Every structure is written in C-alpha cells, then in structure tokens.
Amino acid sequence: TGRIPWSNPKIASSVYYLKILNWIANGVHPSIPNDLNLSNECIDFLKQCFQHDPNRRSSSHQLLKHAFIKEYSNND
C-alpha cells in the first residue's frame, strides 16, 4: 500500500501509535513467540515479512513462491 503499518490513528491510542512509529523508525520488529509450535517454513516466511531493510525484504511475488505458501496453496 505504500503506507506505514498502523497508519490509522483510530486503531490505536495516540501513545501506542507513537510507540509503534518509534519501533518502526528504529528497526524494531515483532518477535515470534517460541510457544506457537510453528514450522520452520512458517518462521522463515514471517522473518522475511518482518525484514526491516526494504532492500533485503522479499517482494510479494517472492513470498507467494515461498515453501510455506506453496504447502497450503491450491494453485500449483
């Protein structure tokens, strides 16, 4: 979309909204909890989605070809 995540201030309180913007500006990304029992493919997919550096982040086309998506896709 070209917009930053959580760009709608109606979704979050103003303090939380500013905290999120600060995290994004400083390269802080969500962590993946260990207790979710996620597959290695899922964890790798999420890490690629959370990559802060846009030059290293996978494109949507690359993500659609990821093993995690292919495993659950009906379109081969």
Same domain, 16 and 39: no
Q: How many domains does the structure of the chain reveal?
A: 2
Same domain, 50 and 75: yes
Question: What tokens does 43 get?
Answer: 């964890």
Report whether pLDDT(66) > 90. Answer: yes
Task: Look up the domain containing 17 and give its range.
Answer: 1-30
pLDDT at 64 (0 to 100): 95
* Segment (H or E) for 39: none
pLDDT at 54 (0 to 100): 87
- The model's pLDDT over 3-40, given as tens digits with 9 standing for 90+, comes to 655 556 555 566 677 777 787 788 777 678 888 889 99
Residues in the chain: 76
Lowest mean pLDDT among 21-25, 35-39, 51-55, 68-72: 21-25
46-55: long-range contacts, CB 8 A cutoff, minimum separation 24:
52/27
Same domain, 70 and 48: yes
Residue bearing the bigger pLDDT, 53 or 3: 53
Same domain, 3 and 24: yes
